[in-house]
Amino acid sequence: MKRKLFALLVTSIFLFSMCLTVHAKNNVQTNSNVKQPLSKLHGVPHQDSFFYGDARADAPELAYRGSFDVGVRTLEVINPNQIDILNYSEENPDPRYDRPLTLEVWYPAIRPGNKPEVTTYQDVLGSGPDNPDRPLIPFEFAGRSLRNAKPNSKEGPYPLVIVSHGYPGSRVLLTYLTENLASKGYVVVAIDHTESTHADKVGFASTLLNRTLDVNFVIEYMAQKGASKGKQFLAGAVNAEATAVIGYSMGGYGALIAAGAGVSESGWVYWGGVPGNYMEMFRAGNLDYQALLDPRIKAIVPFAPWGGHIGTWDLAGLEGLKIPSLFIVGNQDRTADYGGVEFLFKNAINSNRYMLVYQNGIHEVAVNPPPPIAEAHFREYIHYQEPAWDNRRCNNINQHFITAFLGIHLKGMDEYQAYLNLIPISNDASPGDNDYWYGFKDWTAVGLELHHIEP
C-alpha cells in the first residue's frame, strides 16, 4: 500500500513538473516573439523592419533620409467641369464631368513624443477591372511616415513636388522617393490619376488627355492650401512658386507637356489618340497651349517618359522645354523605348538637361520593389522588378540624384553640383581617382551613365 502511494506521489510530482516546464516554455516563446523585430506588432508595422526606401549599405551619399520627420495625409479632391473623353461621341461632342482625384501628400511634420513614424499603404495588383488575365488583388505595405501628423509649418514654406504615376499605376508606386524627399524639406503630392490606376484603368484616351491637366490642377490646389491662413492643413507650408514634376512613363509624358514640350500635329497622339481634336490644346505653337503652361514649374524629372518613340514630339516642340530636366531610363527599356528617351534628351536644346542611364535596365527603374504577394503572379511581379538590377539599389540611386537635382534647382543648393559633375560612364573610373563618381562608396559606381548637355 505504501509503495502504491509513493508511486502515485512520484507520478503526480513528475506530471506537475512537466506542466510547469511546458508553461515556462510557452512563456519564453511568447516573450521572445515580443522582442523580435517583427514586420507587424499588434497589427502595426514595426519600425525596425525593412521599409521601401531604406538605404542599403552601398547607398550613395544623398540617398539617406533628411532631418525632417514626415507626415502623410490622403486627400479627396474634385476638378469640376472636365472633359469626359471616354463618353465622347458625335452625338455628345463635349461631354463633361466633375473629375475626382485622390492625392497622397507627404510633408515635413511634427512627431509627438516617441510616436512611431510608421504607416500602412494600400494598393492592388492588376490592370483595371474585369481583366481575367490580371485580376485585382489587394495588398498592403509599410511606410516611414506618420499618418495625419501636424505639419511643421514654422520651417516652411517648402518647395512643391508633384508625382505622376505610369499606366496603370498608383499614388503609392514611388513611396521610397516621396517619403525621402519630404524628409529633406519638400511637400510631395502623388496623384491617383482617375481611369489610369491599377484599380480603375480604362480607356487610354483619358490618360493622354488628363495627365497634364491633373498636374496643373493639383499645383493650383496645393498653392491655395499653402496660401491659406490659420490652422488649415499645410497653411503657410507650401511654396508652389518652386515646383517640380516627377513623372514615370505616362507621367513623364504628362510632365513634358506641362513643362513646355508641346506635341506634334503629325504624331499619333495628336491625330489618333484622343477623339474630338482635344489634343489641339497641347499642340506646340498653339497660343492656347502657351497659356496653359504654369510658370511655377521650375524643373522636371521624367522617368522613362513614354511617347518619344512614336513621334509625340518633334524638334520644334522640344524647343519649348526651357526648364532644367533630369531624364532617368534603362538602356534596355522596350516600353518607353530607350531610343525615344535619348531622342528627347538630345533634342530638348533649350533645357539644361541630364540623363541618368541604368545599363541593362528596363522600364521598372523608377518604382518600389515588388510586394511579396507578386511572387505568385509573374505579370504583376515584372510590373515592379528590374531583371538585371536590385530595385532597392535603383531606389537609392534615384534618391541620390534627384536630391541633388532638385536641391540645385528648387532650393539653390549649388554645393550639390559636385554630385552631378561626373564623367559620363561610371565604369571608366576607379576608386581613389579624382574622377570617381562623387558621393559613391568605393567599388559601387558601376553600370551607370550620367550625360549632361547645357542649353
In a domain, 426, yes or no: yes
Q: Examine the domain organization and report whether 12 and 73 are in the same domain.
A: no
Q: Examine the domain organization and report whether 265 and 374 are in the same domain.
A: yes
Total domain count, the chain: 2
Q: Which residues are CB-contacts of 431 (< 8 A; sequence separation ≥ 6)?
A: 442, 443
Q: Examine the domain organization and report whether 381 and 330 are in the same domain.
A: yes
Question: Percent of the chain, pLDDT > 90?
Answer: 86
- Only one residue has cell 507650401, namely 238
Dihedral sign, Cα of residue 204, residue 205, residue 206, residue 210: positive
Question: Percent of the chain, pLDDT > 70?
Answer: 89
Closest CA to 192 of 79, 89, 34: 79
Q: Examine the domain organization and report whether 120 and 88 are in the same domain.
A: yes
| C-alpha–C-alpha distance, residues 309 and 340, integer Å | 4
pTM (2 d.p.):
0.90
Q: Examine the domain organization and report whether 10 and 151 are in the same domain.
A: no
Query: What CA dihedral angle connects 161, 165, 169 and 172, to 10 degrees?
Result: -10
- Only one residue has cell 521610397, namely 176
pLDDT tens string 167-182: 999 999 999 999 999 9
Closest CA to 63 of 444, 395, 327: 395
Q: Examine the domain organization and report whether 339 and 205 are in the same domain.
A: yes
CA 124 to chain centre: 16
| C-alpha–C-alpha distance, residues 29 and 50, integer Å | 23
In a domain, 229, yes or no: yes
In contact, 46 and 39? CB cutoff 8 Å: yes
In contact, 411 and 324? CB cutoff 8 Å: no
| C-alpha–C-alpha distance, residues 254 and 306, integer Å | 9
Q: Examine the domain organization and report whether 19 and 88 are in the same domain.
A: no
In contact, 51 and 144? CB cutoff 8 Å: yes
Q: Examine the domain organization and report whether 25 and 128 are in the same domain.
A: no
In contact, 449 and 422? CB cutoff 8 Å: no
Instruction: Name the residue range of residue 5's domain.
Output: 1-32
In a domain, 233, yes or no: yes
Q: Examine the domain organization and report whether 7 and 124 are in the same domain.
A: no
Q: Examine the domain organization and report whether 414 and 445 are in the same domain.
A: yes
Burial of residue 359 (CB within 10 Å: 0-12, 13-18, 19+) is middle
In a domain, 184, yes or no: yes
pLDDT in tens, the chain (455 residues): 434 444 444 344 333 343 433 333 333 332 322 222 334 434 455 666 789 999 999 999 999 999 999 999 999 999 999 999 999 999 999 999 999 999 999 999 999 988 999 999 999 999 999 999 999 999 999 999 999 999 999 999 999 999 999 999 999 999 999 999 999 999 999 999 999 999 999 999 999 999 999 999 999 999 999 998 888 899 999 999 999 999 999 999 999 999 999 999 999 999 999 999 999 999 999 999 999 999 999 999 999 999 999 999 999 999 999 999 999 999 999 999 999 999 999 999 999 999 999 999 999 999 999 999 999 999 999 999 999 999 999 999 999 999 999 999 999 999 999 999 999 999 999 898 999 999 999 999 999 999 999 99
In a domain, 247, yes or no: yes
In a domain, 58, yes or no: yes
In a domain, 171, yes or no: yes
pLDDT tens string 227-267: 988 888 999 999 999 999 999 999 999 999 999 999 999 99
In a domain, 39, yes or no: no
Q: Examine the domain organization and report whether 338 and 395 are in the same domain.
A: yes
Q: Examine the domain organization and report whether 3 and 82 are in the same domain.
A: no
Q: Return the CATH number at 182.
A: 3.40.50.1820
